[in-house]
Amino acid sequence: MDDQGKLRFAKLLHHRAALLEKGEAVAPPLVSATTYHLPEVEGASHIYGRMSMPTWEAVETQLGILEDAPCVAFPSGMAAISAALMAVLTDRKRLIIPADGYYVTRVFSAEVLAAYGVEVVEVRTAAIATADVSGGAVVFIETPSNPGLDCCDIALIAQRVRAAGGLLIVDNTTMTPLLQRPLDLGADMVVAADTKAPGGHSDILFGHVATRDTGLEARVRQWRKISGAVPGAFEAWLLHRGIETLEVRLERMCATAQIIAERLSGHRAVTNLRYPGLPGDPSHVLAQRQMTGFGFLIGFELATMDAAEAFLAACPYITQTTSFGGTHTAGERRARWGDPVSEGFIRLSVGVEPAEVLWAAIETALHS
């Protein structure tokens, strides 16, 4: 993370300080009230729970400091993604999405948006920078892609999309605003699943939309209010707590991922290793330029489905789960979901275990 990022994080940790009265709780109170004292509407800070809640606002303030942009909180990453897309696909009817990105975004586009008359075009992440973005299209990208970890050039794509009168949305889930800053690179909107690293403990679903365009922000807020896709107060409260350690967790996770990736690259059982932090990786040069860290996701292949299953079962410090970004190192064979990868391909999400203990367990499991 750069110096600006570190400053933002310190500010985030102390964001409530200026508002605190003597004797008030330092951590934000968990307020789940649906109704608020309303003798008259004018000047009320809260009106009704579907419109706003103090505990979401505490999280939106944290996220706003991280993104350096207004943020709208949602009950899941998909709620944030669908809100962003519904807000912009009113006058615009052409949508470009990654063919190798998050699966449910593709399902939402194909099953829901297409039924509302949106033309959905799928393009591989590695080819989006040169794709046809004419016609005021909404371009939705994810970099690094999940699970293939290909990268695309956000600044270049933003420039091309803007020149064509379009709009760029970036799913920044795999990086978080600490490791990659799409709005600074020219994107119109960021969407993210805070379910992953920001929540960080595999116990809440949450998402947000960030944008510096006040018109877009208003449309996303209005969508949330009238569609009712509002987060719960308890989840917001847990996310507020989780985000406070995001920077320390990410630092450990990225450093360990670098070590594990370097050692896996020298292991004879491992092929087609992908980690943007390795100098030989196809994403490395771009990642160095546009990311402030290389993340905690690693992709690699073992020879067969059986070898991959045996490895995952044998390693005591890899939880066999889907999803990523939690404190526990997690791994799974992505082909079980029908991802276009080989049967032995594993996506590893590196957690906060001490690096040498984790590597010793991985090395032993690779020999089993």
Stretch that binds ligand PLP, among 166-174, 240-248, 276-284, 331-339 (CB under 6 A): 166-174
The whole-angstrom separation of Cα 303 and Cα 296 is 23
Tell me: does residue 209 bind ligand PLP (CB under 6 A): no
Options 28, 64, 70, 77; binder of ligand PLP; rule CB under 6 A = 77
Tell me: does residue 109 bind ligand PLP (CB under 6 A): no
Stretch that binds ligand PLP, among 7-15, 168-176, 244-252, 346-354 (CB under 6 A): 168-176
Nearest Cα neighbor of 208 from 70, 45, 30 is 70
Tell me the closest approach of the beta carbon of residue 341 to ligand PLP, in angstroms: 16
Name which of 193 and 298 has its Cβ closer to ligand PLP. Answer: 193
Stretch that binds ligand PLP, among 45-53, 70-78, 147-155, 214-222 (CB under 6 A): 70-78
Which residue has its beta carbon closest to ligand PLP?
Answer: 77
Name which of 334 and 366 has its Cβ closer to ligand PLP. Answer: 334
Options 146, 290, 319, 327; binder of ligand PLP; rule CB under 6 A = 146
Answer whether 33's CB lies under 8 Å from 45's CB: no
Options 73, 78, 83, 352; binder of ligand PLP; rule CB under 6 A = 78
CB contact set of 43 (below 8 Å; sequence gap of 6+): none
CB contact set of 177 (below 8 Å; sequence gap of 6+): 63, 66, 67, 68, 190, 192, 210
Name which of 173 and 327 has its Cβ closer to ligand PLP. Answer: 173
Stretch that binds ligand PLP, among 191-199, 284-292, 294-302, 333-341 (CB under 6 A): 191-199
Tell me the closest approach of the beta carbon of residue 322 to ligand PLP, in angstroms: 9
Options 9, 56, 102, 294; binder of ligand PLP; rule CB under 6 A = 102
Q: Where are the alpha helices (DSSP H) in 228-337?
A: 233-243, 246-265, 284-290, 305-314
Stretch that binds ligand PLP, among 57-65, 71-79, 219-227, 340-348 (CB under 6 A): 71-79
Q: Which helix (H) or strand (E) holds 123?
A: strand 119-123
Name which of 174 and 176 has its Cβ closer to ligand PLP. Answer: 174
The whole-angstrom separation of Cα 200 and Cα 329 is 11
321 sits in the region (left: phi over 0; alpha: psi -120 to 50; else beta) called: beta
> Does the CA dihedral 259-331-206-87 come out positive or negative?
positive
Size of the site for ligand PLP (CB under 6 A): 15
Options 195, 258, 283, 329; binder of ligand PLP; rule CB under 6 A = 195
Options 83, 179, 183, 205; binder of ligand PLP; rule CB under 6 A = 205
> Does the CA dihedral 259-262-263-265 come out positive or negative?
positive
Tell me the closest approach of the beta carbon of residue 123 to ligand PLP, in angstroms: 16
DSSP three-state, residue 174: coil
What one-letter code names the amino acid at 75? P
Q: What is the DSSP letter of 21?
A: P
The whole-angstrom separation of Cα 258 and Cα 265 is 11
Binding site for ligand PLP (CB under 6 A): 76-78, 81, 102, 142, 146, 171, 173-174, 193, 195-196, 205, 207
